[in-house]
C-alpha cells in the first residue's frame, strides 16, 4: 500500500522550566490496524489533551502522518480515536522522537 503523507502543523506551547526545547517534524505511522479519526498530542506533564491534529481528515490504517511540531517537552503522550469513539493511548513518548509507529496494543516504536 502506498504511504500517504499528510502535512499538518501543530503549535504546542508548553511553559515548563525543566523541559527540553523541540521543534521539528514527527512522522506518525499508523500500524494499529484501524483508521484513526482523531489524534491528540500533549506534554506528558499535563492532564489535558491538546486539540485534534487531524481535523476533518482520517489517518487510514497503514498510512503515515507528517506533523510539524514546535514547543518544549521531555516527553509527550498521544491518543488515537477510531470512527466508533474507541481510544488507544501512548504515554511517555520521547520529545526527541522523529518517527513513531503506533500499535493497537498500546505499544510504539520510535527513533
Q: Which three cell numbers stand for residue 87?
A: 481510544
Q: Do 88 and 32 touch, CB atoms closer than 8 A?
A: yes
Query: Which range has the top average pLDDT, 35-39, 43-47, 66-70?
Result: 35-39
CA dihedral 37, 13, 7, 90 (to 10 degrees): -40
Domains for the chain: give ranges and CATH numbers. 5-110 (2.60.40)
Look at residue 23 in the predicted model and tell me its pLDDT.
Answer: 53
Q: Which letter does DSSP use for residue 47 in this model?
A: S
The per-residue pLDDT for range 60-98, each reduced to its tens digit, is 999 999 988 777 678 889 999 999 999 999 999 998 899
- For the chain, what is the largest distance between any 2 Cα atoms, rounded to a whole number of angstroms? 43
Q: Which three cell numbers stand for residue 48?
A: 489535558
Calculate the CA 49 to chain-centre distance. 11
d(CA 81, CA 7): 19
| Ordered alpha helix ranges (H), the chain | none
Average pLDDT over residues 20-48: 85
Coil, strand or helix: which one is 59?
A: strand
Amino acid at each position: 500500500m502506498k504511504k500517504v503523507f499528510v502535512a499538518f502543523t501543530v503549535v504546542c506551547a508548553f511553559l515548563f522550566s525543566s523541559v527540553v526545547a523541540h521543534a521539528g517534524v514527527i512522522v506518525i505511522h499508523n500500524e494499529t490496524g484501524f483508521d484513526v479519526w482523531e489524534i491528540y498530542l500533549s506534554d506528558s506533564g499535563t492532564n489535558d489533551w491538546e486539540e485534534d491534529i487531524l481535523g476533518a481528515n482520517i489517518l487510514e490504517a497503514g498510512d503515515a502522518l507528517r506533523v510539524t511540531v514546535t514547543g518544549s517537552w521531555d516527553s509527550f503522550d498521544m491518543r488515537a480515536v477510531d470512527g466508533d469513539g474507541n481510544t488507544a493511548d501512548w504515554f511517555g513518548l520521547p520529545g526527541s522522537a522523529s518517527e513513531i509507529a503506533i500499535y493497537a496494543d498500546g505499544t510504539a516504536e520510535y527513533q
